[in-house]
Structure 1
Amino acid sequence: MKKLFPFVGFAIFLIFFLFKVSAQTATPPALGDGSSGNTYQIANLENLFWVTTLEDYEGVYFLQTANIDALQTATWFDNQGFPSIGNIVHPFSGTYNGDSFVVSNLYQSWGFNTVGFFGYVASTGEIENVILIDADISIYEDSREYCGGLVAENMGRISNCQVSGTVSADMFVGGLVGYNFGGTIENSSSTCDVLGTFAVGGLVGYNHGTVIDCSSSGIIEGDRKVCGFVVHNEKYGIIKTSYSKSYVFGNEQIGGFAGMHELEFNGEPAIIENCYAWGSITRLESQTAESVGSFIGTVKEAPVKFCYTNTEVIYENTTNPTTKGFIGEEIISASFDNNFFNSQVTGQSSGLGALPKTIEELQLQETFTDANWDFIGETDNGTEDFWGINSVDNSQYPFLSWQGYKIEPIITEEPTASTLECGDALENSSLTGVAANIEGEFAFLYPDYVPNYGYSTCPVCIYT
């Protein structure tokens, strides 16, 4: 028996050591009381784990104050990882402000529904300025649903959030949100690769809410209802001023932007407008589904307007189609207003709901403004300035104004100066017909001359 004691002691030590290595500690924040004026300050992983242990989030405020490396979460709870913040029983109904600090290497792999950094967010819940980098989020059991990189099920408000990494589950999977039910998502993005079977989207799996000024990019793979941005947009789903640059692989109801877009709830509109898609969609081998479109797979009544697509359409191991330039199939007549598809990039000569345009045509602002698109620098089509274009950014195609690219000045009328030639004095001459400010270097004959407006640094003057 004495000979067993050293072995037993070592085994106990080993178990204790392994437990300590993989154990998690919930530590309340050192600062804050959770009120709006004195928020809980989340400074480390232990504080973050503590947030998951709460049962009442109503009216509670959290502020992240440092970058948090969550690499060790891969060993937590028998390698199932970080538990979600909030669930159906105890939904997250408070406010979490990430303050643009990073949570990196977050790991979650659970065998039940509703998995994400945040699990279930109530209508009063708000999540803002959260950045997840290299997240690995999954549900490993089949027939489970609602998985998102940031939020699994959202009824609240998400703003200014970013997620990168991988997200996978069987159904209702999104790089940012699995299921957006009445919630609002704005100014947020996903660059996740997303894998699933049904309702798999680059940003959102299923949308019954509002998505504005958002983007997605990544590799998106599934079977049915697979797309680059929002898979199924229905009922009162509103998607505006957003884009996807994704590579999509699926079998039916697949699209570069949306898989299914339909109007079906008490007359409430489901709308997609002022959006665009790039990348490619691939219908996998031996499939025959026709619900494959460069922009949307299937449309049922719901309107689509002021959108364009550069998404290539590929049928694996068979002849590519030529009629899927925009919408794959229309179940019930829908309204389409002033949409375009790139006939050269998509490989399509025609497409339901949109007009074909060449690369050159889609790089001209006039193509769009002639079709009533609202661009920066013009007012005939509105003053909300949804779109912009220049000769450098976004491969010279239109971009959304919130993307922040510079707008090149537009000269609506050439200046005239019938008596002014190179080397002549500006005295007694004038420039007219310029509908915007002019900026440049002008050499004046008289160094003391100051123009009537603008400013001067004579003898070489800057005249605006």
Structure 2
Amino acid sequence: MKNILFIFIITSICFLNLTAQTATQPTGDGSSTSPYQIASWQNLYWVSQNSTSWGSYFEQTADIVLPTTGDADDIHAWDSNQGWTPIGATDKFHGFYNGHGHTVSNLYINRPNTANVGLFGHVGHMTSTTEATIIEQLGVIDVQVIGARGSGTLVGRVTGNGNTLIDKCFASNGSVVGDGATGGLVGSNNSYLTSPANNQKPIISKCYADIAVSWSRKNPSGADKFGGLAGCNQKGITSNSYAIGSVTVDNDPQVASIIPQRIGGLAGCTIYKGLIENSYSAAVVTTYGTVELTGGLVGYVIVGGAGGSDDGFVNSSFWDTEVSTQSTSGGGTGKTTAEMTTETTFTAAGWDFTIIWSMDPGINNGYPYQSWQTFLDDEILPVNWVKCLTTINADNSVDLQWTNPANAVKNQIWYCSYDSLPGATGYPEYGSASDYTVPDAPLPTGVSPNQDGWIRAATIDVATSYTHTGMERGYYYYVIFAETATGSFSPPPEPAAGLPFYRESISYWPGDVTGVPNGTDPVVDFSDIVLLSTAWGTREGDAGWNNIIDVGPTQDNMRRGRPLPDNVINLEDLMIFSTNYESTDYEFYPTNKQYDPEPVEIELLVEQADDLMIASLLLSTQNEQVKGLEINLNSGSGLVLEEVTAGEIWQESGFFRSGSTANSLNITGALLGTDNCLPAAGNIAVLSFGITGSESSLELGDITARDIWNQELEINSNMNVTEPGTEIEPPPQDVLQGNYPNPFNPSTTITFGLQQESPVELVIFNTKGQQVKTFSRTIMPAGYHHITWQGEDNAGRQLPSGIYLYRLQTSHTTLLRKALLLK
């Protein structure tokens, strides 16, 4: 037994050695006269695993390609699938690394809970405050970094002095995602001093980044300082550098009560004597939801701080107002694309176009580039995605946006329809794909414009945006390629932050059903709500069923998701209609609702007298968070529903419906419009029952509550309420309740309550203000009363479909509500 165990152990050890990545010590001794020679990924990995070397000298002698998918030592499996271990942590990297113009490719880091991540994690001096630390002439390409605070591609965090330098370095083609202090090249560029002098600030010089930077959406997270080059330039210097990638902070739906801030095309902020000089950004800066301090160049700059010690400085620096989509910035000067591609814009500001900068209309999209940069026409990097969204107020139209590699002269746009996937069908049913796999990317060099479901939409001169139109309603996938002047094509965009090489979008606005299939009304408005009302409660096969109304639920319940029709018109559909109502713009989701979701309290109160039962449904929450409700009630066989009246919480923009079958009742409603929520407390509905037998119990059943992002809320309720025997009291003040049913055809009942005996007059008006029906003025006793209107005028003629106002006038008040007649 002992021999067998020994053999097993030896075998396991051998297996582990064969499958784990291998660190190979580089040649050299790490001194200034004999630097370590980094010639392979095994040499570079050795550096990451030997912290005692982090104060040494290094020279990279070749381009390094880290092993990736399909390779024996795939980096994605390293360190329990966390990928690369950053060089420099608690013990900072404080040595000298000269890349000699070489690159590191396929960098992969998946450490969402680790601070200070990048190829180098934490950089700066360790002991002497005059100690130098230099990383120079090094590029990282094809990179995917996911970290916590302090995330970058090349360096996560710099905490250095005036001799800490990052020089002639770059990052391109890839993404970095972090909690805060996140940048395309460096996460945070910071001095070790609270208020440093100029000779105590770390320096980023003659660098650039073409990277997609984004926020992790984690809670909790710092959620501040995101930049195309450096997330934070607090107490640091950024000089003669640029960013042309993208910076995206998506807070829609809002994460808890977090408000991300300090978001810029080049740097998130520069404060506490930080400096940006002779630099620019042509990065796309995109935010969603509630954010603060966003700028085309820099998000936040302190000016006029306490004694000047808090001030930041931005000198002779610019941003492209058109590409960035940002008209303002914490510092710098905004210029048009034409101005940004004109050399005099920069020479007039004192930029050096003799040694440092160069410009050529065929290079870097015409923007300034570093003189040390080289561009190879026969090699081209992938484009970076920025967005893929339904066009604002449009039908069968999708907006695409991306950034290009510097040597691109043309772009190809390809799309694939969901209904081309095996087992799928198209609009509006979207049958479940039996094999939900989007085909591999097409070959842009191929002659055929149709490859395995992919269709070439267009070949265009190099651009950063395109609107795809002319397709049928449906759900689409997109991929974009770049082409050089010599006809070389880029590979498809790299998967990033959990997203595939393609992007996807619906081509229309769910809930826009008027005018279909012609798409003549590309908004969700009252006419669409009328069609929803007509089909309400129907199931497939019923009379009145209309499958284009069946838009919910959707993927993740989001208003922008692909519909997952459930063959019934109910709350799922209403929520999509209501969230898109008069807000057909995915980039604009206005909300000042900031809250941590709290349980929703639903209470059923019952009053009973003789053969009448009045039940009130009451809502109570800690804040205005409920947008839609569905409440089911179960009743005994001795109760007969006579009337349902909408409560006051539904307001003018409310959609309220009820329906009943034997011994059950359903009440559903939502407020229309993106930002509308129900009041924190109020009356949902009043139910009137006739009592015809001894089984007169009434209890709450299943309840669903949704917030403004159509996410489900927790419910607390008094689940079982039966047979209370209290007498029905008059209301504390005169009230006019909603009519039931509403919409109606041919008749509806209007319910009102009187605090005390009073003369009463009820008048019906059309939308022109003309009186069409008057119920005679009479004196009525205190309590609740009902008047049934048959939809006719004073002459007994039936009135046409439309909105009508009804006004109750008593000796104490005048009240007004609205009814909808549908024929």
Mean Cα displacement is larger for which, 192-201 or 159-168? 192-201
Partner residue in 2 for 1:42: 38
Partner residue in 1 for 2:121: 119
**Equivalent residue letter for 2:208:** S
Structure 1 gaps of 5+ residues are 283-292, 311-344, 346-358, 378-383, 406-464
Structure 2 counterparts to residues 77-96 of structure 1, below 5 A: 77-88=79-90, 90-96=91-97
Partner residue in 2 for 1:27: 24
- 3-state SS, counterpart of residue 152 of structure 1: strand
Question: Cα distance 1:60–1:395, how it changes in 2: closer, same or farther (>3 A)?
Answer: closer
Partner residue in 2 for 1:224: 261
Question: Cα distance 1:96–1:245, how it changes in 2: closer, same or farther (>3 A)?
Answer: same
- 3-state SS, counterpart of residue 103 of structure 1: strand
- 3-state SS, counterpart of residue 153 of structure 1: strand
Question: Cα distance 1:59–1:294, how it changes in 2: closer, same or farther (>3 A)?
Answer: same
Question: Cα distance 1:226–1:375, how it changes in 2: closer, same or farther (>3 A)?
Answer: closer
- 3-state SS, counterpart of residue 129 of structure 1: strand
RMSD between aligned alpha carbons? 3.6
Cα distance in 2 for partners of 1:213, 1:401 equals 8
Cα distance in 1 for partners of 2:342, 2:138 equals 37
Deviation at 1:227, TM superposition (A): 1.7
- 3-state SS, counterpart of residue 78 of structure 1: helix
Partner residue in 2 for 1:323: none
**Equivalent residue letter for 1:26:** A
Structure 2 counterparts to residues 15-414 of structure 1, below 5 A: 19=16, 23-29=20-26, 31-57=27-53, 59-71=55-67, 72-88=74-90, 90-110=91-111, 111-123=113-125, 124-139=132-147, 144-154=148-158, 155=160, 156-164=164-172, 165-182=174-191, 183-196=202-215, 197-207=223-233, 208-222=235-249, 223-250=260-287, 251-263=291-303, 264=305, 266-268=307-309, 269-278=311-320, 279-281=322-324, 293-296=326-329, 299=330, 304=331, 307-310=333-336, 373-374=349-350, 399=368
Cα distance in 2 for partners of 1:129, 1:404 equals 10
Conserved? CA contact 2:206–2:370, under 8 Å: no
Cα distance in 1 for partners of 2:342, 2:38 equals 49
**Equivalent residue letter for 1:173:** T
Question: Cα distance 1:388–1:186, how it changes in 2: closer, same or farther (>3 A)?
Answer: closer
Question: Cα distance 1:231–1:59, how it changes in 2: closer, same or farther (>3 A)?
Answer: same
Deviation at 1:217, TM superposition (A): 1.4
Cα distance in 1 for partners of 2:346, 2:43 equals 51
**Equivalent residue letter for 2:48:** T
Structure 2 counterparts to residues 440-455 of structure 1, below 5 A: none
Conserved? CA contact 1:235–1:265, under 8 Å: no
Cα distance in 2 for partners of 1:366, 1:96 equals 36
Conserved? CA contact 1:242–1:400, under 8 Å: no
Cα distance in 2 for partners of 1:65, 1:401 equals 22
Deviation at 1:236, TM superposition (A): 1.2
Partner residue in 1 for 2:684: none
Deviation at 1:184, TM superposition (A): 0.6
**Residue deviations 1:123-174 (CA, integer Å, cap 9, x gap):** 33211111111011112xxxx3110111111122100111121111111110
Question: Cα distance 1:11–1:273, how it changes in 2: closer, same or farther (>3 A)?
Answer: same
Partner residue in 2 for 1:456: none
Question: Cα distance 1:69–1:20, how it changes in 2: closer, same or farther (>3 A)?
Answer: farther
**Residue deviations 1:274-331 (CA, integer Å, cap 9, x gap):** 222125446xxxxxxxxxx5241xx4xxxx56x3423xxxxxxxxxxxxxxxxxxxxx
Deviation at 1:23, TM superposition (A): 1.3
Conserved? CA contact 2:282–2:324, under 8 Å: no
Cα distance in 1 for partners of 2:206, 2:140 equals 15
Q: Structure 1 stretches (4+) deviating beyond 6 angstroms? A: 9-16, 361-369, 384-397
Mean Cα displacement is larger for which, 271-280 or 116-125? 271-280
Question: Cα distance 1:189–1:362, how it changes in 2: closer, same or farther (>3 A)?
Answer: closer
Deviation at 1:56, TM superposition (A): 3.3
Conserved? CA contact 1:35–1:59, under 8 Å: no
- 3-state SS, counterpart of residue 308 of structure 2: coil
The structure that has the greater radius of gyration is 2
Question: Cα distance 1:14–1:309, how it changes in 2: closer, same or farther (>3 A)?
Answer: farther
Cα distance in 1 for partners of 2:137, 2:86 equals 18
Question: Cα distance 1:120–1:249, how it changes in 2: closer, same or farther (>3 A)?
Answer: same
Q: Give the TM-score taking structure 2 as reference length.
A: 0.35
- Identical aligned residues as a percent: 32
Cα distance in 2 for partners of 1:177, 1:271 equals 19
Mean Cα displacement is larger for which, 257-266 or 177-186? 257-266
- 3-state SS, counterpart of residue 283 of structure 2: strand
Deviation at 1:102, TM superposition (A): 1.6
**Equivalent residue letter for 1:170:** D
Conserved? CA contact 1:254–1:281, under 8 Å: no
Deviation at 1:249, TM superposition (A): 1.1
Conserved? CA contact 2:55–2:93, under 8 Å: no
- 3-state SS, counterpart of residue 35 of structure 1: coil
**Equivalent residue letter for 1:188:** C
- 3-state SS, counterpart of residue 144 of structure 2: strand
- 3-state SS, counterpart of residue 42 of structure 2: helix
Partner residue in 2 for 1:457: none
Cα distance in 2 for partners of 1:272, 1:261 equals 8
Deviation at 1:13, TM superposition (A): 7.5
**Equivalent residue letter for 1:234:** I
- 3-state SS, counterpart of residue 76 of structure 1: helix
Q: Give the TM-score taking structure 1 as reference length.
A: 0.60
Question: Cα distance 1:114–1:390, how it changes in 2: closer, same or farther (>3 A)?
Answer: closer
Deviation at 1:368, TM superposition (A): 8.5
Conserved? CA contact 1:241–1:386, under 8 Å: no
**Residue deviations 1:398-440 (CA, integer Å, cap 9, x gap):** x5896999xxxxxxxxxxxxxxxxxxxxxxxxxxxxxxxxxxx
Conserved? CA contact 2:30–2:53, under 8 Å: no
**Equivalent residue letter for 1:77:** D
Question: Cα distance 1:253–1:12, how it changes in 2: closer, same or farther (>3 A)?
Answer: farther
Partner residue in 2 for 1:317: none
Cα distance in 2 for partners of 1:130, 1:266 equals 39
